[in-house]
Each structure stands twice: as structure tokens, then as C-alpha cells.
Amino acid sequence: MLPPLTLPAEAAAAPVCVAFSGGLDSTALLHALAETPGLRAQGLRVLHVHHGLHARADAWTAHCQEVCKALHLELIVHRVEVVQAGDGLEAAARRARYAAIAGTLRKGEVLATAHHRDDQAETFLLRALRASGSEGLGAMRAWRPFAQGWHWRPWLQVPRAQLLAWARARRLAWIEDPSNADTDLDRNFLRHEVFPLLQRRWPHVAASFARAAELAQSAADLLSEDDAHALQDVSQGDPPRLSVQGLRALPAPRRARVLRAWIARCTLPPLPAQGVARVSQDLLDAREDALPHFDWAGARIVRWRGQLYAHRPHGPLSPRWSAQWDGRMPLVLPDGGSLHLDGATAFPATVTVRARQGGERIRLPGREHTHALKHVLQDSGIPPWERPRLPLLFEPGGALLAAGDAVIGDTLQRWLHEHRGQLRWQRD
């Protein structure tokens, strides 16, 4: 028997969207949810993410469609492109998967995933091997805010063997992904090589690690309130930048926790243990005229003008790229960002959008003469790594109207004011 599926009180009447890969775990969860009348009546959707990483990916999608058809449930299929960013294929696939799920989840909807006790134990040990703090050792939480709704893991206390017995008793059919046997992947190595060895000596090792994760979560919760106050004290601006002077004043243990909380707020991969040390040693104590940085898992922390910034590095816009834009619809940029004209229907004339090529000049609001854009950007506080990405807007006559939403020229500023409009550059 499996424990009953009951949503937490704050979302007791919410609809559920279940992530369905077609494997054993998600197959069991999907059927268990479909067999729970109350949850089905509240609304039950199914989401399958097609990563395109395996030759049988299309067949797996077809299998999921047949299962949902038999259960009379709606299936949404998302095809994603997995792009590695220095943290391995497994992490890249997970990032692409959760991005697709976040974009699909409706307001107030609950995402249900089939993570179980064995997954929790593996995650705890992986985090321990990376020298994670209490947040990392807390591994996965059974209930947390996610996208516009919630993320629910109802089976974190249930061992995989129990799910397997339940699925076999119902003669369910599921997919066996051959990549799950690839011990070159860290999690698979733990699952197939390390845990069987540990279990021979300590049969309850998975339960013990899962319990340790719970204790770490409790400790992290107690510390998080003080961390939030400390982070607020050293944060400057939105998105948050951290004051180097403020960080230096914090005790080392608190500074480490504040850095991790900041990176989580920036929705970047967790900061590794060596990252905290590198930030303290190489960034906080760097010369004022230096531009030091620390890179990890496709993310970067950089010091500039007495502050720390965190972001995902992007290359510059191609100098050969240009586009015509009337403002009616968002303009998607080559680097994944976009331009938006909010509050106004369209520009009075189509503008040309292109990358910086050097030598551009702009007339600022209230000024009679033009100024070199290079100097304006330096004076405006735009970080140097963002300047090559700035999309420039030119009127039909060739005059520069704006550099992203960072620098708005006089002509465009007056028009936006008259039409209650706003130019917005959305960075990827």
C-alpha cells in the first residue's frame, strides 16, 4: 500500500499538474493521482518533456500519450533543447525540463513529481560530497513555492521498492531509460555502485540519509530568517547587487550563508563550497580597479565598482545582426533576450534595432548636443559585460534613440512620456 495523496492545507483545492516521464516512478504517481477522486475532480493535467537526447524519445512520448489516453487525462508535450553550460548533460537536461514546466504551470496550480526516499538519500549524499551547507544537505523539500504555484513531492518518505511492488501488483507498464544504467553519471554511480555496498553494512542507510536531510532542512529554516535580514542589509538595487564593504563586515559563516541565499534568489545554480572561499579571497580583497570573477556551472559572480553581481555570461550581439521593429509585438533578440514596448500601441515609425558597432552618439534628455554612447554607458553605471549585449534603436533617419532601456535619448523619452509608454529590455 502507498500513503494517501493529500495536498497541504494552503492548496487543498488546487488543480494538479503531474510531471510524467513514462518511467516507473512517474507512472506510479500518475496512476495513484488518477485513482484519487478528489484530486482528479479538482483538475489533473499531465506534462511530458521531450528532451530529444535518446533515439527512442519519440517512442517514449507516444507511450505517454497512450497511457494518458487510457486514463482520459490531458497530456501536454514540451519539446526542449538541452544546452550544456559547464555543469554536465544531466544538469542541463534538468534545467531545460524545469524551465518548460515553469512556463506551463498555471497560477495556483500544483506540480507533482515522483521523487521518493531513495532519490532523497542520493541527493543528500551528492550534496555532502560537494561540501554543501545546511540548505544543500536539506536536499529536496516535499512542498515549496514554484513558478506561479507549488511543487509537491508526496513520496519523499516512500522507498522505491514500495513503488515497484505497487506498480507490479497493478501490472502497470513503464519505460526503462537505458541512461539510468550509465554509471559515468554521478547519481547512477551512487545508485548502482555505492548504495548497494552501504546497504550490505547498514540496511537502513537510505532512510538514515533521508532523515538527515530532514534535520538539515529544520536547521536551515531556523537560520534563514537571520540570513534574510543580513542579505537585505548588504543588497543594493534590483536585481540585487551585494556591497563588498557590507560583506566584509559579516562574520565568515554568515557571509557564506548570505552568498548562497543571494545566488538562490538570482535563480542560479547552487554556489559550491570552493565558490564561497574564492569570492572571499579573490573578489572581496581585489584591487578597486580590477574586474575579478568566479565561474561555476554556467554562472558567474563578478566584482565591479565595490559591488558583486551574479549572472549567466552571454556573448555580445553580432555586429552583423539587425532587425526592423514597430513595437507592436516583443522583438526576440539573438541572445534570447527581448525588447518590449509597454503601455503604447506602436512606434510612430518602424525603428532599426542592431548591435553596437562603435562610434555611436546620442542626445540625452534636456541636452542640446550629442554625446559618445561609450562615455554615456561608462557614466551610467551599466556593467561592462552588459554593454556588448545592448540592442540599439535607431530612427529611420539614422539617429540613435536608445541603448536597450539603459539609456533613452531625448526624442524617444519625450514620445514615451506623451504616450505613457515604456521601453523594456528583457535579458535572458
> What mean pLDDT is predicted for residues 395-415?
95
* DSSP-assigned beta bridge partners for residue 323: 353
**Does residue 73 register a pLDDT over 70?**
yes
- Identify the burial level of 51 via C-beta atoms within 10 angstroms of its C-beta, where 0-12 means exposed, 13-18 middle and 19 or more buried: buried
The stretch 286-294 carries a mean pLDDT of 88
Determine the Cα–Cα distance for residues 211 and 75; give it in Å rounded to an integer. Answer: 35
Region 305-318: mean pLDDT is 91
Please tell me which residue, 210 or 314, carries the higher pLDDT value: 210
Binding residues for ATP: 21-26
Q: What is the mean pLDDT of residues 318-336?
A: 93
Give the pLDDT confidence score for residue 273 in this predicted structure: 78
How far, in Å, CA of 320 to CA of 334, rounded? 11
238 CB neighbour count, 10 Å cutoff: 6
β-bridge partners, 308: 242, 303
| Residue 86: pLDDT band with limits 50, 70, 90 | low
What string of DSSP letters covers 252-277?
HHHHHHHHHHHHHHTT-PPPPHHHHH
> What angle (nearest 5°) sits at the alpha carbon of residue 221, between those of residues 218 and 226?
140
Cell 541572445 appears where?
A: 335
Structure confidence by residue, pLDDT tens digits, 263-276: 988 888 888 878 99
Q: Do 421 and 411 form a contact (C-beta atoms < 8 A)?
A: no
The residues with which 408 forms a beta bridge, in sequence order, are: 402
pLDDT of res. 131: 82
CA distance 17 to 45: 5
Q: Given a cut of 80, is residue 372 above it in pLDDT?
A: yes
Helix or strand holding residue 243 (H, E): strand 241-243
How far does the chain reach from its first CA to its final CA, in angstroms?
Answer: 45
User: 237-311 in CATH: which number?
Assistant: 1.20.59.20
- Cβ atoms of 330 and 338 within 8 Å: the answer is yes
> What are the pLDDT digits (tens) for 87-138?
677 778 888 898 889 999 999 999 999 999 999 999 999 999 988 878 789 9
The pLDDT, as a whole number, for residue 85 is 63
Where along the chain do its domains lie?
A: 9-188, 237-311, 322-426
Chain segment 191-243, per-residue pLDDT in tens: 999 999 999 999 999 999 999 999 999 988 888 888 989 999 999 877 779 99
Kindly give, in sequence order, each residue whose CB lies less than 8 Å from that of residue 418, ignoring residues fewer than 6 positions away. none
Q: Which of 306-310, 314-318, 403-407, 413-417 has the lowest mean pLDDT?
A: 314-318
* List of residues 6+ apart from 232 with CB closer than 8 A: none
DSSP label of 207: H
In angstroms, how far apart are the furthest CA atoms of the chain?
Answer: 81
387 pLDDT more than 90: yes
Average pLDDT taken over every residue of the chain: 92
Which grid coordinates are listed for 371? Answer: 554625446
Residue 284 clears pLDDT 80, i.e. is over it: yes
Task: Quote the CA–CA distance of 91 and 299 in Å, as a whole number.
Answer: 13
Fold of 9-188: Rossmann fold (3.40.50)
For the whole model, what pTM was predicted? Answer: 0.63
When pLDDT is cut at 50, 70 and 90, the band that residue 55 belongs to is confident
**CA angle 172-119-62, nearest 5°?**
35
Rounded distance between C-alpha atoms, residue 296 and residue 286, angstroms: 19
Q: Is the pLDDT assigned to residue 49 strictly greater than 70?
A: yes
Please enumerate, by residue number, every residue annotated as part of a binding site: 21-26
pLDDT in tens, 125-181: 999 998 887 878 998 999 999 999 999 999 999 999 999 999 999 999 999 988 888
Q: Which contacts qualify for 342-349: CB closer than 8 Å, 24 or more apart?
A: 342/421, 342/422, 342/423, 342/424, 343/419, 343/420, 343/421, 343/422, 344/416, 344/419, 344/420, 344/421, 347/415, 348/415, 349/395, 349/396
